[in-house]
Structure 1
Amino acid sequence: MYIKKILIAIVLIGLVIAAIMAYFVYQTMFVSNTAFNNDTAYVYIPTNATYKDVRAELTPLLKDISKFDRLAERKKYTANIKAGKYVIRKGMNNNDIINSIRSNNIPVKLSFNNQESLARLAGRISTQIEADSLELLAVMSAPEFLKANNFSSNTALGMYIPNSYEFFWNTSAEQFRDRMIKEYQRFWNDDRLAKAKTIGLTPEKVMTLASIVQKETAKVDERKRVAGVYMNRLNIGMPLQADPTVIYAIKRKSGNFDQIIKRVLYKDLELDSPYNTYKYRGLPPGLIAMPDISSIDAVLNYEKHDYLYFVANVQQFGYHKFAKTLSQHNANKQEYVRWINKQGVNR
């Protein structure tokens, strides 16, 4: 009888201990441990991060980091950190959080357009993925890479087709660059290559001309007509005489791409630069900006017409007046000059 009581007591104590253990396991694994009010929070885990780094990211987001620590240790997460961007949803328990940051690396939407240099593009990209701007610029301008892919320092910007792309946040500089060359090759499909050949331009020259068209007009519906003017000039050996190329030449010479130049002066036309298309015939040696796809396709499908000149239309801002003869153009130009003088724009 005495032994029976002892056995019963042992069983009861065991049950109590088991219940306590189950309670702590339940508290550790299955009770909500989020401390933020939004529906979601994002955790960015860098390449080569340690558990200490992850813990620092998670501490502000969790109610009880010590309980998370215990489960992370038991599930061996502390020795198996993976870089990436991860989502934690409001109300998640420790078990769900660990499962999420262990295997649910989510992609980011990366986008870029209208950059004037590789340095600026690198800066833009570095705000969206882990790679920093210096790493990006180094691999994007690497001479051996450019040579292997038929680019130069002047044309390298044309390799990056403005669009939105999906990347993992922990993408390296090399991975970004290598993906972009594939996107460039995909963009230049058989149809676009055939059109470039038909108009007598290489893809690189199409990109250069498209960059000028991009800077000349923000109106997508006008870009084919502007491209047609420049193709007409190229085809008859006339200088392009594109103001945006002169502005680019000024910025390039000064190294200051932040300056705002609203008006090209006669003295600017004397600047000795291969980008000054008033002084040098043909296309400049490279892009003056990153063209949109609409500008690239505008060159490939340029409007066939007899216009050789155009100037800003002060009756319809954003658009231009086109002319077939110099006398026509001069009349349109005088109207524009009177207007810009009235606005007091001297530079």
Structure 2
Amino acid sequence: RAAFDPVSEEPPAIYLEMLEPADTRFRLAMAEGVTSWQVVEGLKLIDILTGEINGIPEEGSLAPDSYELVRGMSRAEVIAEMQRRQAERLARAWANRAEGLPFETPEEALILASIVEKETGVPEERRIVASVFINRLKKGMRLQTDPAVIYGLTKGQGVLGRGLRQSELRRETPYNTYLIDGLPPTPIANPGLASIEAVLNPEETDFLYFVADGTGGHAFAKTLAEHNRNVARYRAIERDRANGSD
């Protein structure tokens, strides 16, 4: 059993487990929310695979899932299977999407799914988080999502490893959703099926804002005034924690 993580600040992008004592079959698990660069870097470290990978696959095109490998299989084969599964998932979810969504193409839904994937790790929140962004898109509000800004800085190659600076929130990149209207040009990670389904069948809410609630989840708000109160509560929690650690 081995874990491969090219960036130590994030959960392993690639996980390999022996399935048979004969050492001929292995299971590879790809985590939700990793970037295509991380997947490629992980695959390079798996010595039972062969061949090179020509370039980085399009962001969002790889399906987080479990894959069975055989010694001698090419890395290109693995990438192709990841892409096949993601395309199949997206097509199926798109065919079963709710009405009235602000997407013209499945690819636009995939972009938002990647943002939802990076914004919350709480399964019960995904459809609510998706509803916030969809409500904002419908109203012409900017998405203002930090993970997209971070992607514009790192290009998906590693993690920032710290909080965003104010100067970075003002930096012009195609992914700075504080400055651009609508969606960024590409996904910012490879979203799992649950996040894809969340954006194509979101919760029906009037929420326009959310912020961390200090427990691992988020507090949602319909108005800016309500959101500002939630932000103040979260900052108070963070101050209390900081004081408690002194």
Q: TM-score of the superposition, structure 1-length normalised?
A: 0.58
Q: Which residue of 2 aligns with 1:192?
A: 94
Matched residue SS, 1:110? strand
Cα deviation, residue 86, structure 1: 8.1
Cα deviation, residue 211, structure 1: 1.3
Aligned-residue sequence identity (percent) comes to 34
Contact 2:37 2:157 in 1 (8 A): no
- Structure with higher Rg: it is 1
Per-residue CA distance 1:236-288 (angstroms, 9 max, x = gap): 11000112112222323xx8624312x33433220111111001111111122
Matched residue SS, 1:165? strand
Q: Using the alignment, how far apart are the partners of 1:86 and 1:322 within structure 2? A: 47
Q: Which residue of 2 aligns with 1:283?
A: 183
Q: Using the alignment, how far apart are the partners of 2:39 and 2:125 within structure 1? A: 26
Q: Which residue of 2 aligns with 1:171?
A: 73
Q: Which residue of 2 aligns with 1:109?
A: 27
Match of 1:259 among 152, 160, 179: 160
CA spacing shift, 1:220–1:191, aligned 2, 3 Å:
closer
Q: Which residue of 1 aligns with 2:3?
A: none
Q: Which residue of 1 aligns with 2:134?
A: 231
CA spacing shift, 1:218–1:190, aligned 2, 3 Å:
closer
Match of 1:322 among 198, 217, 220: 220
Aligned length: 224
Contact 1:229 1:309 in 2 (8 A): yes
Structure with larger RCO (C-alpha < 8 A, sep 6+): 2
Q: Using the alignment, how far apart are the partners of 1:326 and 1:335 within structure 2? A: 14
Cα deviation, residue 337, structure 1: 2.5
Q: Which residue of 2 aligns with 1:213?
A: 116
Aligned Cα root-mean-square deviation (Å)? 2.8
> Structure 1 or 2: larger helix share?
1
Q: Which amino acid aligns with 1:331?
A: R
Cα deviation, residue 191, structure 1: 4.9
Cα deviation, residue 128, structure 1: 4.2
Q: Which runs of 5+ in 2 are unaligned?
A: 1-18
Q: Using the alignment, how far apart are the partners of 1:197 and 1:285 within structure 2? A: 23
Q: Which residue of 1 aligns with 2:174?
A: 274
Q: Using the alignment, how far apart are the partners of 1:157 and 1:332 within structure 2? A: 33
Matched residue SS, 1:210? helix
CA spacing shift, 1:124–1:198, aligned 2, 3 Å:
farther
Contact 1:277 1:284 in 2 (8 A): yes
Matched residue SS, 1:311? strand
Q: TM-score of the superposition, structure 2-length normalised?
A: 0.79
Q: Which residue of 2 aligns with 1:73?
A: none
Q: Which amino acid aligns with 1:159?
A: S
Cα deviation, residue 123, structure 1: 2.1
Cα deviation, residue 87, structure 1: 5.1
Contact 2:32 2:192 in 1 (8 A): yes
Q: Which runs of 5+ in 1 are unaligned?
A: 1-84, 89-104, 142-155
Q: Using the alignment, how far apart are the partners of 1:196 and 1:188 within structure 2? A: 14
Q: Which residue of 2 aligns with 1:135?
A: 52
